[in-house]
Amino acid sequence: MDEDTFNDLLKLIENDIQKQDTKFRNAISAKDRLSVTLRYLATGESYKSLSFSFRMGQSTIAGIIPEVCIAIYNNLKNQYLKMPTTTQEWLKIANEFEERWNLPHVLGALDGKHVVIKAPANEGSSYFNYKHTHSIVLLALVDANYSFLYVDVGRNGKISDGGVYKNSSLAAAIETNKLNFPEERPLPAGTKPVPYVIVADAAFPLSRHILKPFPFRNMTWQQRIFNYRLSRARRVVENAFGILTNRFRVLLNIISLDPSPQMVMMLRNRTLIGDSHLSTP
């Protein structure tokens, strides 16, 4: 995060995180509170290491981080983690997918990521996933430029990506036609109208607006080409997760408190706006 972005963020949340001085001690400044939080999110450093770097007690840091995360989330959520609400906004995304990834009628790429956590007391088995770790699932919808449009965070890691999607507000909104998706139109060089879709992997259910690859057994060469093209467009969500964890390495650690993955993604969307040249992992 550059200095201008940091100062803009500080100005936005300063009133929510600044504390008053007392007769016995001066309060930790809002700037230092934001600095230690961003260092934790960016590096995943331990409280002990941060304590030495910032000359703060570990218990003090443990109180500051969730408080600042909440302030960031509350102030940025409506601007930097926002679903399209109009047909024109969806069409803009579809045009960008076609231009960048050569696949028409795509409104987003959908996938899930496991965020490893310290197992909650007496509930460890609910969060135990197929990778033999305890986790929560981060379900995300991403546009053609790696920005997050929608997230669902907190379902226990035992649930599959498809199961998380099935119980999400995104699935409910798609099923009830509340997202103002564009009307069906013919594909380029086609005549039959077809729906606009979200691309996903085999873990998700096939539906009118969810497109997944053909099963790998006994595929024709046309189906192989289709799978390749779909995979190429869908890979943006995997790349977005890679960029996210590279910038906010706390997500690579075992998390024992809630750093608000939604908030981390908004910070990423905020810094991404200024990136004219973005490389993917």
Share of the chain above pLDDT 90, in %: 63
Helix (H) or strand (E) holding 48: helix 47-54
CB 64, CB 54: distance < 8 Å: no
Which is it for strands 185-186 and 193-194: parallel, antiparallel or unpaired? antiparallel
User: Model confidence over 120-132: pLDDT tens digits?
Assistant: 777 768 888 888 8
Per-residue confidence (pLDDT) for residue 280, from 0 to 100: 30
pLDDT > 60? residue 164: yes
Global pTM value:
0.85
Per-residue confidence (pLDDT) for residue 71, from 0 to 100: 92
Q: Break the chain into its structural domains and give their ranges.
A: 3-79, 84-247
Which is it for strands 193-194 and 197-199: parallel, antiparallel or unpaired? unpaired
Per-residue confidence (pLDDT) for residue 79, from 0 to 100: 82
Residue whose token pair is 């995997």: 238
pLDDT > 60? residue 87: yes
CA–CA gap between residue 59 and residue 51 (Å, rounded): 9
pLDDT > 50? residue 152: yes
Our measurement of the distance from residue 118's CA atom to the centroid of its chain's CA atoms, rounded to an integer in Å, reads: 20
User: Model confidence over 195-211: pLDDT tens digits?
Assistant: 999 999 999 999 999 99
